[in-house]
A = this chain, B = another copy of it.
Amino acid sequence: MSVWQDEIHEGNGGRGGKTRIGVLSSRTLFDERSAFQRVRIFETEALGRVLMLDDLWMAADHEEATYHEMISHPALTTAKRIERVLVIGGGDGGTAREVLRHPGVKHVDMVEIDGMVVDACKTHMPKVGRAWDDPRLNVIIDDGVAHVQNAAPGSYDVILVDGSDPVGPAVGLFNDAFYAACGRALTDDGVFATQAESPTLMRDVHVQMWGALEQVFSVVRPYYATISIYPGASWSWLYASKGTDPLAPRAERVAVAEAESYYYNADVHHGAFAVPNHVLRAR
């Protein structure tokens, strides 16, 4: 028997009320509570396997490529060096997979706070995390905030923050001290990128993150794409650097990304950095 599984959004853009995004599921493959959150994976016909953390959709087989490409390739195609990469969060393995497509990447530390997410995704969502066996990938089950604070200055060329929303275990990823620590852990020509919430339903958080990153980095630019299973369906990331230009990707790395990408290409890279008028006005 199939049942609807929904993510319900309350207080949309400060207006109150509820909307929902649902998918008809034929089977629950995993449902346990970790020390941090409830971890569920559903089998669905429309979206393939779908991961839900607490009551929020995180990834689906057929709606994960755009997110993982967009958190990875703008940074990976523009940073001067990309040998040492840190991924914070990203327990489903999709971000590490995209990062590791670049042959210039020599080592990826992926620091995920919740080992249950990694284990459940390895077993039940193998289509997302396809690079678990890459010898360049070092999975660390630990607090990403502490990891960055303890990292030696300049120890990473690229830092990608693939955390969940600013409630629950990921709340420490949304504050000034964390961004400052990321700035220290990056090389001088390194690049930082983070998911940055819905510019429509969570515009306040999005704009606050933008401003907070500007306290640490000289270049901060938001970029956007559609992720149908996320609140508001319009999603954002923030690119930050100490001078590296987000709009000057290296052609040979773009070609690597384009070769297997679902969404990303050179035009998409440039177009994604257009900021909607309502976001500009809210700054």
Contact = CB atoms under 8 A, between A and B. Distances in A.
A6 B270 CA distance: 35
A200 B25 CA distance: 20
Contact of A46 (B12, B275, B277): B12
Residue of A66, A265, A274, A280 with most partner-chain B CB within 10 A = A274
Residue of A272, A276, A280 with most partner-chain B CB within 10 A = A276
Contacts of A12: 46-47, 62
A56 to B, nearest CB: 16
B271 A274 contact: yes
B15 A19 contact: no
A267 B263 contact: no
A258 interface: yes
Nearest to A267: B274
A218 interface: no
A268 B263 contact: no
Nearest to A45: B17
Interface stretch (A80-88, A116-124, A176-184, A225-233): A225-233
Given A13-B62, A263-B276, A274-B272, A22 B23 contact: no
A20 B66 CA distance: 20
B278 A262 contact: yes
Contacts of A18: 23-24, 45-46
Contact of A272 (B9, B271, B277): B271
Interface string A254-268: 000010011111011
A274 B280 contact: no
A48 B24 CA distance: 26
A139 interface: no
A247 to B, nearest CB: 11
Nearest to A66: B276
A32 to B, nearest CB: 25
Interface string A116-144: 00000000000000000000000000000
Interface of A: 4, 6, 9, 12-13, 15-24, 44-48, 62, 66, 200, 224-228, 232-234, 258, 261-265, 267-268, 270-278, 280
Given A20-B23, A265-B274, A271-B271, 12 more contacts: A4-B20, A16-B45, A17-B45, A224-B226, A226-B226, A226-B233, A228-B233, A233-B233, A261-B277, A270-B274, A271-B272, A271-B274
